Amino acid sequence: MAGNIQIISPQMIKEQYDYMSKVRQINSERTLYATVKTYGCQQNEADSERIAGMLKEMGYNITADESRADIIVINTCAVREHAELKALSITGQFKHLKSKKPGLLIGIGGCMVSQEHRKEDIKNKYPYVDFLFGTSMLYKLPEIIYKKIKTKKRQFHLDDSDGNIAEGLPVERFSDFKAWVSIMYGCNNFCTYCIVPYVRGRERSRKPDDILNEIRGLIKDGYREITLLGQNVNSYGKDLGMDIDFSDLLQMICDIEGDFTVRFMTSHPKDATFKLIDTIAANPKIAKQFHLPLQSGSDRILKLMNRHYTFESYKALADYMKKKIPEIAITTDIIVGFPGETEEDFACTLNALEQIEYDNIYSFIYSKRKGTPAAVMEDPTTQEEKAKRFQRLLDTQNTISNRKNQEYLGKIISVLVEGRSKTDDGKLTGRNEKNRLVHFSGDDCLIGKNVKVKIIKADTFSLMGEYIEK
């Protein structure tokens, strides 16, 4: 395997547990609270659950109310400038909390601060931030917090390794029925627009036994939905030297007894295999949903992005999926306005949406990331033109989504109930196997359960239904 991947031994994890108990000792006199603020992707959500797990072990009560907090940890994202600005702005807002409560500790971690220039920004422009830890320093959080408390000195912890795998850290899961399980970390693909390989290190897979044991425990605890996480899950196992690939891992997970659904993200189209599609088709436990980021429908742009596939090869995969699993919901990520994207290139992307007929797309206007190859490419298209293309992309997809949602009218579908909607008159909300959002009236006792709902109204973004009693 390329790079300088650090091995974190059980002894090193034990040391961190020792730091956790030292901090707990210091904290034992008072009731203390901690808030974890998360920006970005599911991988960050999963990391935050570990951050919260460690904070809890250190004696802090986890609260969403930052005004009560004695320690705030901000877990940042770097994938687009907007995400960075949001994290910096919230960090700025915490300054006044600290002036009211001088003992408050403020820490910042994750992808944004894993960039050297951002570390310097925090050091110089945010003097009230007490500690900073890069993505590969997450397991050392207890030590970092302990040192801050003991020495009163600001702590800045970034290393130049290519990442690590730390097993056995405590986890405070934010849901009682949906769980994230990272199966691998990092990325080797270096798509030219993307900062992730620079801030999350090289690809490294967790051992199958560690993953299976974690999932067995979750199923025993009543979790209904397991989402496997990795920047490119299709590379799973390549570094293990064990003759196991992602399809094999999925099969082993499906062989665990119990009533649960498995999802996974994200797949790189260059590594997605027909074998994987066959595995999904053959296993009722795997959700019939596939997130396959296309990024652009233009082969010229795909090449500039260093994506290693063409629209034709992508479409062959999608067609095979639709043939083998007719009910499959395919979703994607699209970047609009990559440097040098012409009107003709963009037309290929719109055409791709029509041809694949995605159930949903996640679309982004290209954001220049310092240090990536695309950041120095010629980019003559104005932001205004990019915004117009973005709107055209949304309009095209909205028509397709609406058309696909209408197909649900009158049908009875199974929905995992997630909670109450914040907007839709407080109705219950949930998702079906294809991740479609469904709203309906019902009792709180249905939250966390799989229920049957009849669809009575469909619009572009969601379905409205009626709960069907057994």
Q: Is 232 in the site for ligand SF4 (CB under 6 A)?
A: yes
Binding flag, residue 190, ligand SF4 (CB under 6 A): yes
Binding mask 250-269 for ligand SF4 (x = CB under 6 A): ------------------x-
24-61 per-residue burial string, b: 16 or more CB within 10 A, e: under 16: bebbeeeebbbbbbbbbbebbbbbbbbbbbbbbbbbbe
Of 193, 236, 290, 309, which lies in the binding site for ligand 5AD, with binding defined by CB under 6 A?
A: 193
Q: Which is nearer to ligand 5AD, 264 or 440 (CB)?
A: 264
Stretch that binds ligand SF4, among 192-200, 209-217, 411-419, 436-444 (CB under 6 A): 192-200
Q: Which of 170, 158, 197, 165 is nearest to 182 (CA)?
A: 165
Q: For residue 373, give the nearest of 177, 227, 192, 205 by alpha carbon.
A: 192
Residue 326 has a CB neighbour count (10 Å cut-off) of: 9
Shortest Cβ 17–ligand SF4 spacing (Å): 31
In order, the DSSP letters of 340-351 are: T--HHHHHHHHH
Longest dimension (CA), the chain: 66
Closest CB to ligand 5AD: residue number: 333
- The answer to whether residue 309 forms part of the interface with ligand 5AD (CB under 6 A) is no
Going residue by residue from 195 to 214, which x/- string records binding to ligand SF4, judged by CB under 6 A?
-xx-----------------
Among 232, 367, 432, 462, binds ligand 5AD (CB under 6 A): 367
Residue 373 near residue 379 (C-beta atoms within 8 A): no
Tokens of 403: 């058309």
| CA–CA gap between residue 408 and residue 312 (Å, rounded) | 30
Residue entry with tokens 């019902």: 442
Record the tokens describing residue 12, joined without a space: 């090193």
| Contact partner at residue 268 from ligand 5AD, ligand SF4, none, CB < 5 to 8 Å by partner kind | ligand SF4
358 binding ligand 5AD? (CB under 6 A): no
Using rule CB under 6 A, residue 295 touches ligand 5AD: yes
Whose Cβ is closer to ligand 5AD: residue 80's or residue 157's? 80
Distance CA 239, CA 372 (A): 25
CB of 293 to ligand 5AD, least distance (A): 4
Q: Are 335 and 368 in contact (CB under 8 A)?
A: no
Shortest distance, position 186 Cβ to ligand SF4, whole Å: 9
**Rule CB under 6 A: is residue 157 a binding residue for ligand 5AD?**
no
Minimum CB separation of residue 198 from ligand 5AD in Å reads: 11
Count residues contacting ligand 5AD (CB under 6 A)?
12
Q: Which of 221, 231, 225, 292 is nearest to 253 (CA)?
A: 225
Tracing tokens 């190859």 back to the chain, one arrives at 373
Residue 192 or 401 having the CB closest to ligand SF4: 192
80 binds, among ligand 5AD, ligand SF4, none (CB under 5 to 8 A by kind): ligand 5AD
Q: Is the dihedral of CA 142, 147, 150, 153 positive or negative?
A: negative
- Backbone φ and ψ of 419, nearest 5°: 165, -155
Q: Looking at residues 331 to 350 of the shown chain, list those that interact with ligand 5AD (rule: CB under 6 A).
A: 333, 335
What does 208 interact with, of ligand 5AD, ligand SF4, none (CB < 5 to 8 A by kind)? none
Closest by CA to 171, choosing from 61, 63, 53, 59, is: 53
Among 158, 194, 400, 415, binds ligand 5AD (CB under 6 A): 194
* Cα 268 from Cα 250, distance rounded (Å): 16
- Using CB under 6 A as the binding rule, whether residue 272 contacts ligand 5AD is answered as no
Q: Is 38 helix (H, G, I), strand (E, B) or coil?
A: strand
What amino acid occupies position 382? T
Identity of the residue, 371 or 426, whose beta carbon is nearer to ligand 5AD in the bound complex? 371
Does the protein bind ligand 5AD through residue 202 (CB under 6 A)? Answer: no
Binding status of residue 335 toward ligand SF4 by CB under 6 A: no
CA distance 99 to 243: 56
**Which residues bind to ligand 5AD, rule: CB under 6 A?**
79-80, 193-194, 293, 295, 333, 335, 364, 366-367, 369
**Which residues bind to ligand SF4, rule: CB under 6 A?**
187, 189-191, 194, 196-197, 231-232, 268
